[in-house]
Structure 1
Amino acid sequence: MDRFDRQKNNRELIYPHDAKLTEKEKTSICYLSFPDSFSGSLGDTQFSFRLRQSVGRVSGIWFEETDVYNREAPLPLQKEMAHFYGYVYFRQVKDVSVRRGYFQKSLVLVSRLPYVHLFQSLLQIIAPEFFEKSEPCLEAVCNEIDQWPPPAPGQTLSLPVMGVILQVRIPSKDDKPGGSPISQGQKEKRLSSSMVLSTIHELDIFKCFQSVLIHIQLLWELMLLGEPLVVMAPSPAVSSETVLALVSCISPLKYCCDFRPYFTIHDCEFKEYTTRTQAPPNVLLGVTNPFFIKTFQNWPHIMCLGDLKMSNLLKQVKLKKLTKLKMLDTKPGVYTAYKPFLHKDKALIKRLLKGIQKKRPSEVQSAILRRYLYELTQSFVLPLERYLAGLMPGRYPQDEFFATLNHAGPQTPKGDWLGLYKKFFQSSNFDGWFRAKQREMIQKLECLHLEAICEADLPSWTKDKSEVETVDLVLKLREKLRRAHTQQLLVKEELLHKLQNYIHSVISSLPEDLQTVLDKN
């Protein structure tokens, strides 16, 4: 993790000092670490952003397919190859000793991991002390963080920092939905010396979607299909939380389009994303500057957020037309001409609205909503996975799949599921899902092949083979073993040990000159 601090458009401190960030990345972080307008409110605020890494940067071993973490982590929590996440703690307080009359500073934690709740909790511990003591505090904190164990899916970690021990569990792709160190609805525990986090990444999605609750299924469809969407919010905190909540609402699918929890006019991709000479890109943007209302007039879907009273929630039945967008007094809602494929689930909306009336805790409302969206996504993905299981890698005949939907497709909610699948097949999310499944299937085939080799009678096979054929076999078997170890294929250790012993015995039976060559390779 790289730590980064900035004050008044100048980089004040980077820690560690040898952090490998390009000048372009540092400049972008500077702009993204401050609210678009930070003169109106005092106090502390937290938000996050996502930054495209510079072209030509060497990603390193972290992002090879052999990475252990990425193979075991859920798709939405895998390390990013082409982007950084920035987690910001911004403080603005009156200070007569400063020329502008205000102390304004941001502490930013930069990581490739989407652990928004963990890193924001970490900043809540570090930032107040850092604003008082500056670099000595940051150096001590970084020394502690350097001693943390690497994230391991399925493991619970104790992470000491500044006298507090953060206890977290790193999710695994094998976790059952809803599993958590703390049961749903129970608040996190904060003791004098320890803090047990219920999650490393989940947000209060009910709070994020409350003002557009009626349209939650429409938003799910837009995310599933990777449609261009702009979220206009009153603050970077609301913007970033809502964008991340939208991305998470199609879990366990990974959102494979670009998304920016907080986007400003200073962003390097501003011209790319606001051009009117071509169709809007498939990207999800969170913005706060009213200037963007005019800039994004040609976008097909715009979501405006703001305070909304309970009495007005029931009036959100209709979607708003894009022509009704105004520069200043834009009302909360979803502005689009999109016609959903699926019918609205009135039972879900009724249950959540009733929860509001009964003042049900927000974390319980979030659990209900998250479970519903998870099951909706699962019901959509299950027929795809069931059909894919009967195919060889590299094939996915869509017409044959469509023919199975009548008897093996999802049944609820009612609607045009066939049309939704057809649209999904054209999206980046389908491409990302299919590639991930291909990798899984290829690895399974490699496991079966390796097991067959390990159990074969290799000594008998090599008895009448030439030296060239034998050497070729040794090289191929070595490569199989290497891939088995680097990719941690699920093959019994005793079989791999047996194969290793066989390779040694074959090499020792060859002439000394060949043994020397093979020992060097």
Structure 2
Amino acid sequence: MSSQRLGNTSKAFECTDDGNDSSEGEDYDGIRDISSTNTPRSISSSISGAPPIRSRSTSLALTLALPEPIPIPTTSSDISDAFSPLISPTTLTNLHGLDLNSPLAGSSPGRSRTSEEGLDYGVGISPINRSRTLPRQYSTSSRRSTVGPKKTSAAGASESAEPAPLDAEKRLALSRWIVTFAVVNFDLDLGPVVERLYPEVLMTSGVRENIAFSAFPDASLFETGVQCHSFRIRDTVSEQSRTSATSSPSSGASSISDGFLYGYALFLQKRDASSKRGYLQRSVVILSHLAYPSLFTAAVSKLGAFYFSHGVTMLETACYNIASWPDPTRGTALALGFLGDVMDVEIPRHENEHQSVATSSFGEKFNMKVHMLASLPTSLPSPISLFASFLPKVWALWECLVLSEPLLIFAPSPSQTSAIIWWLRDFLRPIPLAGDFRPYFHIHDQDYANLVNKNPPKPGLILGVTNPFFTNLCKHWPHVLSVGREEDAAKTQTGPQSTPYMGPAPGFHSKHQRFISKDRNLLKKLEEALHKGGAAEMEACNLLRQHFTDRTTMLLVPLNRHFASLIPTDPNAPLKPFTPTSFLASLKVHGSMLPFRSSSKQKEFYVKWLRTPAFGVWLTERVEEVQEAFKLKLKTQAQTQTQKLGKV
């Protein structure tokens, strides 16, 4: 995927600013109070008398709609209660008892695994236990020169010591997994701003602004005072800041960037009497070049709990933990020590691999409470609960997905759009990803004008949005998926009645006519499992994932069969060309394993798929595989011939 920035293709939507990036700490040009204009009112402006967040694109958008603040006490035990839906019981236990002013050598050891149990700790890495990943005692005397005035974290924790800069070795080790941590705060005059990057990286003001707005929700629905979501932005971070010396590809490490940065954010809000707004909002973000949502969502949940309780020194501890992890080697199961806990995660062999519970390599029966498959989102909310309003149409949704149709995803919260889009990404495997996808997209994104305009949306583009103003901006999009308010949101909301969801009606809105029959038996099982919930729902989700993986694999069978007929026996000979005519002739003879509704539908479907960018990516990958195999064969033949001549 190209890492070059997209150029503007439309001037249909103009912003009030002059287009120049603003440096941190300076006002943006063109900012004005959107509440005084004729644009839609800010949802947040009616809550607790809070002033609206100022927006750069005032002629386009609703302002960030922040929910009624939920009181979160600032003691360690009470803060851990607020995070209890997001982090493990072990982390909660450590959070209750954590004291940065005392050594932690005596903390209770955690679960430790050896490589004999199927988990790899890396060369020279001793078995992990929780106590080894908790912070050591900090000596303020050794850092007196780096400590400024005493600060207070978002949750009231003292930040009396600034984290020390990482040395080059630690930064290099860290860059195998992440780029940096970001802390985003809400400034009453500027809006969301990145107030800290640790470790420091070279980053333009435009990228910082993009990260800041991506880290904050612009929706008013929350289950609790914290929420996790993810986002994807173009990676314009300097090559000197981003890893360029990770493990070589030959080692199997996942070091290849796709040209995007993935952000995994935890947002917290709490009342703050000292703020003019009446409450404070802050996010902690992990920025990485790796698309591992389950791993990094779990990590940012743990980090957020400690950061909001104990302050900025937890960022340094987290960096040292991650720097000690083994390489993110593809196809391995790793035990990763992090902030007093151990995360068991399986790394996929490649980005298009379907990671399965049944075939996971943990060396024991898969336990969703302990084990993670890195390429998947977190197990909750489940895909069938997210798709509950249109389960019978999920087969039409899958067809749109594999045919690289653009999809617009509406949801009340970024956490929901993130989960939906990561599940859709999973349903596409093993077909390679050929389009752009954004788990959470907003009007301040640097690619906004290029992706949202009056032109037809780009093939394969999937946008997750929460701002109802996109309803009009994207009314020409052919396929819109909308989910309503989470069923339990009203039950857990402790503040005043939250603002009603103003997006499209829940459902899959599309004129797409299916080519392939749905599996009615599976549909019945999904509906029954959704009604039962619990373990039955999780089992049904695995069935749904496997079902679409099987269908995607069957889709590729005729293509693989025809491609195999084009490979010459002589490695020096060129491949025969792949033409639609020859493929369709082969398809007519051999058919497809997919249950097409008719033979004409079968032909129509494959003709359409051959025109998608996904076909081009698939064909390129197959050609490269054959060329690599031929190179290896020729090299082996040359070595054999040399050995024979040596014997003579």
Match for 2:284 among 96, 107, 112? 107
Are the equivalent residues in 2 in contact too, given 1:79–1:114 (CA < 8 A)?
A: no
Q: Distance in 2 between matches of 1:460 and 1:188?
A: 58
Q: Distance in 2 between matches of 1:169 and 1:411?
A: 31
2:304 alignment partner AA: A
Shift of 1:158: 1.7
1:14-93 → structure 2 map (5 Å cutoff): 14-17=197-200, 19-38=201-220, 42-54=224-236, 67-68=249-250, 79-93=256-270
1:349-368 → structure 2 map (5 Å cutoff): 349-359=523-533, 361-368=536-543
1:286 alignment partner AA: G
Structure 1 residue 7 corresponds to structure 2 residue 199: no
Higher relative helix content: 1
1:236 alignment partner AA: P
Q: Distance in 2 between matches of 1:227 and 1:268?
A: 23
Match for 2:633 among 429, 440, 448? 448
1:345 aligns with: 519
1:119 alignment partner AA: F
Match for 1:418 among 603, 620, 636? 603
Are the equivalent residues in 2 in contact too, given 1:235–1:288 (CA < 8 A)?
A: yes
Are the equivalent residues in 2 in contact too, given 1:182–1:188 (CA < 8 A)?
A: no
SS of residue matched to 2:428? coil
Q: Distance in 2 between matches of 1:432 and 1:184?
A: 36
Are the equivalent residues in 1 in contact too, given 2:269–2:280 (CA < 8 A)?
A: yes
2:625 alignment partner AA: E
1:152-163 → structure 2 map (5 Å cutoff): 152-163=329-340
Shift of 1:188: 3.0
Shift of 1:21: 3.3
2:618 alignment partner AA: W
1:238 aligns with: 416
CA root-mean-square deviation:
3.0
Q: Distance in 2 between matches of 1:458 and 1:329?
A: 71
1:437 alignment partner AA: R
Are the equivalent residues in 2 in contact too, given 1:255–1:429 (CA < 8 A)?
A: yes
| Superposition TM-score, scaled by structure 2 size | 0.62
Residues 392-419 of structure 1 show CA distances to partners (whole Å, capped at 9, x for unaligned) of: 4472122111112234332332222221
1:468 aligns with: none
SS of residue matched to 2:184? strand
Shift of 1:237: 0.4
2:231 alignment partner AA: F
1:254 aligns with: 432
SS of residue matched to 1:456? helix
Shift of 1:216: 1.1
Are the equivalent residues in 2 in contact too, given 1:95–1:102 (CA < 8 A)?
A: yes
2:193 alignment partner AA: N
Considering Cα pairs closer than 8 Å and 6+ residues apart, tell me whether 1 or 2 has the greater RCO.
2
2:368 aligns with: 188
Are the equivalent residues in 1 in contact too, given 2:516–2:596 (CA < 8 A)?
A: yes
Flag the 1:175–1:335 CA change in 2: closer, same or farther, 3 A. Answer: closer
Are the equivalent residues in 2 in contact too, given 1:158–1:167 (CA < 8 A)?
A: yes
SS of residue matched to 2:387? helix
1:369 alignment partner AA: L
Residue correspondences, number: 432
Structure 1 residue 281 corresponds to structure 2 residue 458: yes
Match for 2:613 among 428, 448, 462? 428
1:482 aligns with: none
Shift of 1:231: 0.5
2:344 aligns with: 167
Shift of 1:226: 1.1
Are the equivalent residues in 2 in contact too, given 1:224–1:255 (CA < 8 A)?
A: no
Flag the 1:5–1:205 CA change in 2: closer, same or farther, 3 A. Answer: same
Shift of 1:140: 1.4
Q: Distance in 1 between matches of 2:427 and 2:363?
A: 20
Between 352-361 and 433-442, report the one with greater CA deviation. Answer: 352-361
1:385 aligns with: 560
1:338 alignment partner AA: H
Residues 81-131 of structure 1 show CA distances to partners (whole Å, capped at 9, x for unaligned) of: 211110011111223233322221100001111110011111121111111
Question: Once the two structures are aligned, what percentage of the paired residues are identical?
Answer: 27
2:590 aligns with: 408
Match for 2:295 among 104, 118, 125? 118
Q: Distance in 1 between matches of 2:365 and 2:542?
A: 8
Q: Distance in 1 between matches of 2:503 and 2:258?
A: 40
Flag the 1:380–1:268 CA change in 2: closer, same or farther, 3 A. Answer: same
SS of residue matched to 1:341? coil
Between 424-433 and 53-62, report the one with greater CA deviation. Answer: 53-62
Shift of 1:40: 7.0
| Superposition TM-score, scaled by structure 1 size | 0.76
Are the equivalent residues in 2 in contact too, given 1:42–1:93 (CA < 8 A)?
A: no
Q: Distance in 2 between matches of 1:205 and 1:41?
A: 18
1:215-226 → structure 2 map (5 Å cutoff): 215-226=393-404
Flag the 1:38–1:131 CA change in 2: closer, same or farther, 3 A. Answer: farther
Residues 154-173 of structure 1 show CA distances to partners (whole Å, capped at 9, x for unaligned) of: 22212112121212222225
Are the equivalent residues in 1 in contact too, given 2:360–2:366 (CA < 8 A)?
A: no
2:441 aligns with: 263
Q: Unaligned 5+ residue runs, structure 1?
A: 190-195, 310-326, 462-497, 499-521
Are the equivalent residues in 2 in contact too, given 1:257–1:428 (CA < 8 A)?
A: yes
